[in-house]
Chain A
Amino acid sequence: MWNLEGNTVLIKKSGELGESDVTPYEIYRQRRTFLQSGIAVAGAALTGSLWAPAASAAISLGDVRPGPFSTDEAKTDRKDILTYNNFYEFGVSKSDPAKHAHRMKTDPWSVDVIGECAKPGTYTLEDILAPHAMEERIYRLRCVEGWSMVIPWIGFPLADLIKRFEPGSKAKYVEFETLYDKKQMPGQRRRILDWPYREGLRMDEAMNPLTLMAVGLYGKVLPNQNGAPLRLVVPWKYGFKSIKSIVKIRFRETQPTSSWMEAGPREYGFYSNVNPNVPHPRWSQKRERRIGEFRKRKTLMFNGYSEQVAAMYAGMDLKKFF
């Protein structure tokens, strides 16, 4: 294993907040149970809690400060964010992930960094998170299916992480992969998509200050069904670009092919920017239903993040590069 800083790092500095200070008692206790039993599944199975044992002992969010770009729109209900998920690795129904994601073991967790960079290697989650200060960012999320949410994520800019790996001049794109393990992810027993789930960004998109590596939401570590322990959040693109439970990061010269591009090349492009003017071949993208609202609302160009991202696509035909 590589250790980026060359020494052992802990996110939580001793003497600061204890875990029980930032975590409700039930979760705190559940974590203890989970550690005692040593079986990740037990905690969730016994309590039936939605906050399944994503809580690895290694992650404690520590101080979370408010980050930039947050919207002041009403946040989506926490319960809805935790029970209405597209995470096909745990089943195709929206309610499947909340039911089955407790099978995924997120501690220990490591990420392979490979390809065109000076510091490839296998990094533990602790290594990955160590130097980064956590921020809360309240972002809109627009699903390609026509619904949306407002989610208070906790994380840090992907750019800061990428810089540590020192990508070279050939690194034009960055590709991500989700965990592939049929035992932990029962949905992978069927080839609905070409597993493991893959996604990618152009380097400038990855380095954009909006792009977030998330490890938590609503003030706590990510529940498994929301992509624990480490996921991408790219708020100006359709939700499926924000890949969950990341185990691999690859820097490459050529544009990667994502799992959805493979499943439907006519329907899902590499960019997949939220765009009300480019319909999905089978349905319109002009409007969306914000979860919790009755009437639909208009979908905004780049999901309302034009100011931050439009320049990256200047001169591109977004109908062609959908």
Chain B
Amino acid sequence: MQKHFLKPLVFISGLLPAVILAWQFYADRLGANPIDEITDGTGTWTLRFLLITLMATPLKRLFGWGWPLHVRRMLGLFAFFYATLHLFTYLWLDQFFDWGEIGTDILKRPFITVGMLAFVLLLPLAMTSTRAMMRRLGRNWKALHQLAYVVPLLGVLHYWWLVKADVREPLVYGVVLIVLLAFRVRRGKVAVRTAARDRCAS
């Protein structure tokens, strides 16, 4: 794929769910409870982008594809974009900025506690996503961005705790996440073993 087409293409694709959702809202196509649909839609797209972001490395390792890594930052920022929309849907359309109620929710409703925590952890990742910040933070940048594994875990938990009886959908996200995390654990072990072997050999 041509490199200079890649980023615009991913950018437009990433915006598409938001555009479609906005159009559906405007055209009254979201059914009887449109605000619920927006909350659901922005939430699931957050989770999807978090998981897609985590796929870049495995795709490179397994198939040698380099292009996902070129757009990984953008994908991560899209996760942040949808998370922000999701949060504001809750703060505005759900709670109408009733801070007392929001506070109670955060303290007393575990799924909201976990969702809020996920957003708070996503915030520094978005803020330190620039090249300049990468340089400034050096080694710490990498450590900080390990949070990219924690946030989707909290996201799946957030989803799991809010469904009433049918956990099938959060389960699917959970399984994909576990596969993606397992890949890294395995890679990690192999890396340690390889390093050890290399040391022995030398």
**Chain B residues within 8 Å of A77, by CB:** 32
**Chain B residues within 8 Å of A264, by CB:** 165
Q: Are A92 and B165 in contact (CB under 8 A)?
A: yes
Whether A295 is near chain B, meaning CB under 8 Å from some CB there, is: yes
**Chain A residues within 8 Å of B94, by CB:** 296
Bound complex: CA of A94 vs CA of B30, how far in Å?
A: 12
Bound complex: CA of A292 vs CA of B32, how far in Å?
A: 7
**Which of A95, A190, A284, A286: most chain B CB closer than 10 A?**
A284
Whether A289 is near chain B, meaning CB under 8 Å from some CB there, is: yes
Restricting to B105-144, which residues have a CB under 8 Å from any CB of A? 105, 108-111
Q: Are A282 and B33 in contact (CB under 8 A)?
A: no
**Chain A residues within 8 Å of B104, by CB:** 284
**Chain B residues within 8 Å of A80, by CB:** 31-32
Bound complex: CA of A307 vs CA of B164, how far in Å?
A: 31
Bound complex: CA of A263 vs CA of B31, how far in Å?
A: 28
A282 with B110: in contact, given A84-B32, A92-B166, A192-B165 (CB under 8 Å)?
A: yes
Whether A145 is near chain B, meaning CB under 8 Å from some CB there, is: yes
**Chain A residues within 8 Å of B162, by CB:** 282-283
A283 with B109: in contact, given A92-B166, A145-B164, A192-B166 (CB under 8 Å)?
A: yes
**Chain A residues within 8 Å of B165, by CB:** 88, 92, 192-193, 263-264
**Chain B residues within 8 Å of A83, by CB:** 31-32
Q: Are A291 and B108 in contact (CB under 8 A)?
A: no
**Chain B residues within 8 Å of A291, by CB:** 32-33
| Chain A contact residues: helix, strand, loop or mixed | loop
Q: Are A284 and B109 in contact (CB under 8 A)?
A: yes
Q: Are A147 and B109 in contact (CB under 8 A)?
A: no
**Chain A residues within 8 Å of B157, by CB:** none
Q: Are B96 and A295 in contact (CB under 8 A)?
A: yes
**Chain B residues within 8 Å of A292, by CB:** 32
A180-224 vs B, CB cutoff 8 Å, 1 = contact: the mask equals 000000000010110000000000000000000000000000000
Q: Chain A: how many interface residues by the 8 Å CB criterion?
A: 27
**Chain B residues within 8 Å of A282, by CB:** 109-111, 161-162
Whether A279 is near chain B, meaning CB under 8 Å from some CB there, is: yes
Bound complex: CA of A320 vs CA of B105, how far in Å?
A: 21
Q: Are A286 and B101 in contact (CB under 8 A)?
A: yes
The residue on A at minimum CB distance from B35 is A289
Q: Chain B: how many interface residues by the 8 Å CB criterion?
A: 19
The residue on A at minimum CB distance from B34 is A294
Bound complex: CA of A294 vs CA of B125, how far in Å?
A: 34
The residue on A at minimum CB distance from B110 is A282
Smallest beta-carbon distance B79→chain A, Å: 24
Q: Are A94 and B33 in contact (CB under 8 A)?
A: yes
The residue on A at minimum CB distance from B95 is A296
Bound complex: CA of A175 vs CA of B110, how far in Å?
A: 34
**Chain B residues within 8 Å of A279, by CB:** 108
Smallest beta-carbon distance A293→chain B, Å: 10
**Chain B residues within 8 Å of A84, by CB:** 31-33
Restricting to B27-41, which residues have a CB under 8 Å from any CB of A? 31-33, 35-36
**Chain A residues within 8 Å of B164, by CB:** 145
**Chain B residues within 8 Å of A286, by CB:** 101
The residue on A at minimum CB distance from B37 is A94
**Chain A residues within 8 Å of B31, by CB:** 80, 83-84, 94-95
B147-191 vs A, CB cutoff 8 Å, 1 = contact: the mask equals 000000000000001101110000000000000000000000000
The residue on A at minimum CB distance from B108 is A279
A284 with B33: in contact, given A92-B165, A279-B108 (CB under 8 Å)?
A: no
Restricting to A139-164, which residues have a CB under 8 Å from any CB of B? 145, 147
The residue on A at minimum CB distance from B94 is A296
The residue on B at minimum CB distance from A279 is B108
Smallest beta-carbon distance A59→chain B, Å: 26
Bound complex: CA of A295 vs CA of B92, how far in Å?
A: 10
Smallest beta-carbon distance A255→chain B, Å: 22
* 8 nearest A-B pairs in the assembled complex, by CB-CB distance: A84-B32, A80-B32, A92-B166, A291-B32, A192-B165, A192-B166, A263-B165, A283-B109
18 A-B pairs besides A92-B166, A296-B96 with CB distance below 8 A are A79-B32, A80-B32, A84-B31, A88-B165, A94-B31, A94-B32, A94-B33, A95-B31, A147-B36, A190-B166, A263-B165, A283-B105, A283-B162, A284-B101, A286-B101, A291-B33, A292-B32, A296-B94
